[in-house]
């Protein structure tokens, strides 16, 4: 199979492209940048992928070949190579209409990269950051044209996950938001426009659930039991398995960053199970062990079994006493903080409507399809019932305190999805 050229030639599709909205540059050829560039190219959009490491570009090419073989639907390397260039320099950036930054999540490095790019591109080019943990306003602070800057948050793996959060910072213009929305649509994605804030919309709500999971572990509830209850509720994977798949290194870092943004509902946890496992060198699925152990079975499929070392570490360092809870209690303790965080996000106008919020949760994190989203689930229970359940767990702190909008709906028997009709 042909590989993609490392050096752009004279017949570069990128320079020849006349449609201003289609010339995309991606900076950072890691997990996300590679997936984003692949998605552009597989939708026929001319794209340049830049990194500072030749090794990253070689890996990107390898990963794209793998994607083509698995999901290419007849698309060949030659077709992809016709629109995609991988490069170590900024050649062609002066022609870009959109630059998507996907370098490591470090404010200093991102500021430096965005500043360099801003100095090279046309005045009306739009810069977009794929950060999942930093604030768009913090990244915009170092820019000359912050109005031409927004967030564009893809989910991993980018070629497969349908949702993209377009994040409007305080200074982001309508033009930049519209450009990001068009870019997402041209890449076959479903964009949802949200306001800036730690974790934006989807990860903020997910982190309320992960924080609740960590508190269950700190109370001595077994992780396999929690996973079973969550999966029976309809989640594609329970929180322990999810953390293993995300990776305990990346997962712990983004938890720390997002928890810090909501200290009243997601306070610092002195006995944090993720950190205990990470400190013991357990990285999750990619390292072969986390909460579970992973090994290739005879048919090549990955087999999963409980990691007894993890159980032991949690017993020694997180909770020595085992607390027994019924499945319903485990689910309430996991799901109520999620509903509550969703209500706070809606109250704060982070997202335009309950329908968009629930759609984002379904598309972004696979919220159980039968439940239809956190707010739809709250409607199903009834706001008064949710408030009553919150009262039962109020001793656990503000994560279980019903927000005003929820209490208001409870008092007038209202619903979050007033006008959507039947699902
Ligand atoms: N991994 C995820 O699940 C995920 C999901 C959504 C968003 N994100 C966000 O995407 C971004 C990238 O994450 P990732 O997981 O792909 O990271 P990664 O570590 O896999 O890749 C980062 C790449 O950036 C490159 N890089 C560093 N400095 C550079 C520079 N000055 N110029 C060009 N390239 C440079 C590195 O060589 C590396 O190849 C982060 O902001 C992260 O928050 C990650």
Supply the residue whose CA is at minimum distance from atom 38 of ligand 1: 30
Q: State the Cα–Cα distance between residues 365 and 123, nearest whole angstrom.
A: 36
Alpha-carbon separation of residue 235 from 93, 221, 318, 326 (angstroms): 42, 19, 25, 18
Q: State the Cα–Cα distance between residues 348 and 334, nearest whole angstrom.
A: 22
Burial class (CB in 10 A: 0-12, 13-18, 19+), 222: buried
Mean pLDDT of 270-281: 97
Q: What pLDDT sits at residue 118?
A: 98
Q: Which CATH number fits domain 13-195: 3.40.190.80, 1.10.490.10, 3.40.50.720, 3.40.50.1480?
A: 3.40.50.720
Strand partners for 195: 168
Give the class (CATH, top level) of 327-411: mainly alpha
How many whole angstroms from its chain centre is CA 137?
18
Q: State the Cα–Cα distance between residues 407 and 317, nearest whole angstrom.
A: 38
Q: State the Cα–Cα distance between residues 96 and 125, nearest whole angstrom.
A: 7
Q: What pLDDT sits at residue 12?
A: 61
Active site residue 153: yes
Report whether pLDDT(285) > 70.
Answer: yes
Report whether pLDDT(189) > 60.
Answer: yes
The pair of three-digit structure tokens given for residue 71, joined into one six-digit string: 């999901």
The pair of three-digit structure tokens given for residue 370, joined into one six-digit string: 């039968």
- Catalytic one of 43, 71, 153, 211: 153
Domain boundaries, the chain: 13-195, 202-317, 327-411
What pLDDT digit, counting tens, does each position of 310-342 carry?
999 999 999 988 888 999 999 999 999 999 999
Supply the residue whose CA is at minimum distance from atom 33 of ligand 1: 51
Alpha-carbon separation of residue 56 from 3, 27, 87, 373 (angstroms): 15, 11, 10, 37
Collect contacts of 409-412 with beta carbons under 8 A, ≥24 apart.
409/383, 410/382, 410/383, 410/384, 410/386
Report whether pLDDT(24) > 90.
Answer: yes
Mean pLDDT of 137-166: 97
Q: What pLDDT sits at residue 111?
A: 97
Buried b (16+ CB within 10 A) or exposed e, 340-370: bbbbbbbeeebbeebbbbbbbbbbbbebbee
Q: What pLDDT sits at residue 420?
A: 61
Report whether pLDDT(299) > 90.
Answer: no
The pair of three-digit structure tokens given for residue 9, joined into one six-digit string: 């030639």
Q: What pLDDT sits at residue 80?
A: 87
* Distance (Å) from CA 267 to ligand 1 centroid: 28
Supply the residue whose CA is at minimum distance from atom 28 of ligand 1: 103
Name the 3-class secondary structure at 158.
coil
Q: State the Cα–Cα distance between residues 380 and 335, nearest whole angstrom.
A: 13
What pLDDT digit, counting tens, does each position of 83-117 carry?
999 999 999 999 999 999 999 989 999 999 999 99
pLDDT band for position 73 (50/70/90)? confident
Those residues with Cβ within 8 angstroms of residue 73's Cβ, 6 or more apart along the chain or in another chain: none
What pLDDT digit, counting tens, does each position of 362-411 carry?
999 999 999 999 999 999 999 999 999 999 999 999 999 999 999 999 99
DSSP state of 307: -
Mean pLDDT of 134-139: 96
Length of the chain as a residue count: 423
Handedness of CA 188, 60, 129, 246 (dihedral sign): positive
* Distance (Å) from CA 371 to ligand 1 centroid: 33
Q: Do domains 13-195 and 202-317 have the same CATH topology?
A: no
Q: State the Cα–Cα distance between residues 350 and 84, nearest whole angstrom.
A: 35
Report whether pLDDT(165) > 60.
Answer: yes
* Distance (Å) from CA 238 to ligand 1 centroid: 26
Strand partners for 222: none
Label residue 243 left, alpha or beta by phi (over 0 means left) and psi (-120 to 50 means alpha).
alpha
Q: What is the dihedral of CA 398, 365, 257, 292, to 10 degrees?
A: 100
- Ligand 1, CB within 6 Å, residue ranges: 27-33, 50-53, 56, 102-105, 109, 113, 130-133, 154, 156, 250
pLDDT band for position 142 (50/70/90)? very high
Q: 202-317: which CATH architecture?
A: Orthogonal Bundle (1.10)
Those residues with Cβ within 8 angstroms of residue 347's Cβ, 6 or more apart along the chain or in another chain: 403, 404, 405
- CB–CB of 140/171 below 8 Å? yes
* Distance (Å) from CA 322 to ligand 1 centroid: 39
Report whether pLDDT(2) > 70.
Answer: no
Supply the residue whose CA is at minimum distance from atom 25 of ligand 1: 28
Report whether pLDDT(13) > 90.
Answer: no
Q: State the Cα–Cα distance between residues 242 and 23, nearest whole angstrom.
A: 35
Mean pLDDT of 126-141: 96
Mean pLDDT of 253-281: 96
Q: What pLDDT sits at residue 9?
A: 47
Q: Which of 29, 30, 101 to probe ligand 1 with, by most ligand atoms within 8 A of CB? A: 30
- The β-bridge relationship of strands 149-154 and 292-296 is unpaired
* Distance (Å) from CA 29 to ligand 1 centroid: 7
- CB–CB of 400/390 below 8 Å? yes
Report whether pLDDT(266) > 70.
Answer: yes
Percentage of the chain lying above the pLDDT 70 cut: 94
Nearest by Cα to 206 from 268, 257, 277:
257
What pLDDT digit, counting tens, does each position of 173-187 carry?
999 999 999 999 999
């Amino acid at each position: 199979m042909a590989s993609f050229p490392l050096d752009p030639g004279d017949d570069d599709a990128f320079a020849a492209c006349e449609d201003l909205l289609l010339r995309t540059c991606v900076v950072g050829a890691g997990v996300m940048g590679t997936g984003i560039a692949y998605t552009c190219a597989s939708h026929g959009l001319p794209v340049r992928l830049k990194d500072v490491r030749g090794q990253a570009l070689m890996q990107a090419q390898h990963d794209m070949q793998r994607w083509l073989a698995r999901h290419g639907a007849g698309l060949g390397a030659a077709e992809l190579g016709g629109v995609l260039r991988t490069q170590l320099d900024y050649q062609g950036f002066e022609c870009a209409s959109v630059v998507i930054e996907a370098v490591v999540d470090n404010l200093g490095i991102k500021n430096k990269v965005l500043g360099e790019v801003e100095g090279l591109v046309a005045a009306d080019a739009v810069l977009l950051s794929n950060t999942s943990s930093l604030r768009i306003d913090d990244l915009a602070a170092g820019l000359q044209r912050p109005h031409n800057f927004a967030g564009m948050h893809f989910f991993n793996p980018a070629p497969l996950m349908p949702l993209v959060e377009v994040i409007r910072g305080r200074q982001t213009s309508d033009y930049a938001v519209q450009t990001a929305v068009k870019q997402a649509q041209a890449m076959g994605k479903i964009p949802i426009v949200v306001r800036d804030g730690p974790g934006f919309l989807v990860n903020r709500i997910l982190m309320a659930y992960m924080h609740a999971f960590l508190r269950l572990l700190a109370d001595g509830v077994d992780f396999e039991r929690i996973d079973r209850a969550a999966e029976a509720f309809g989640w594609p994977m329970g929180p322990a398995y999810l953390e293993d798949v995300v990776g305990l290194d990346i997962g712990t870092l983004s938890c720390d960053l997002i928890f810090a943004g909501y200290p009243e509902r997601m306070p610092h946890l002195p006995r944090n199970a993720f950190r205990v496992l990470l400190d013991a060198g357990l990285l999750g699925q990619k390292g072969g062990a986390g909460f579970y152990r992973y090994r290739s079975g005879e048919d090549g499929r990955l087999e999963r079994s409980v990691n007894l070392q993890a159980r032991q570490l949690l017993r020694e360092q997180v909770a020595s006493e085992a607390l027994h809870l019924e499945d319903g209690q485990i689910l309430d303790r996991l799901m109520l903080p999620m509903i509550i965080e969703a209500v706070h996000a809606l109250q704060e106008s982070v997202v335009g409507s309950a329908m968009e919020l629930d759609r984002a949760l379904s598309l972004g994190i696979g919220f159980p399809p039968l439940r239809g989203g956190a707010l739809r689930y709250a409607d199903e229970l009834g706001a008064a019932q949710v408030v009553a359940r919150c009262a039962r767990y109020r001793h656990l702190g503000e994560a279980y305190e019903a927000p005003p909008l929820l209490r208001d709906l409870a008092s007038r028997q209202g619903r979050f999805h007033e006008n959507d009709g039947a699902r």
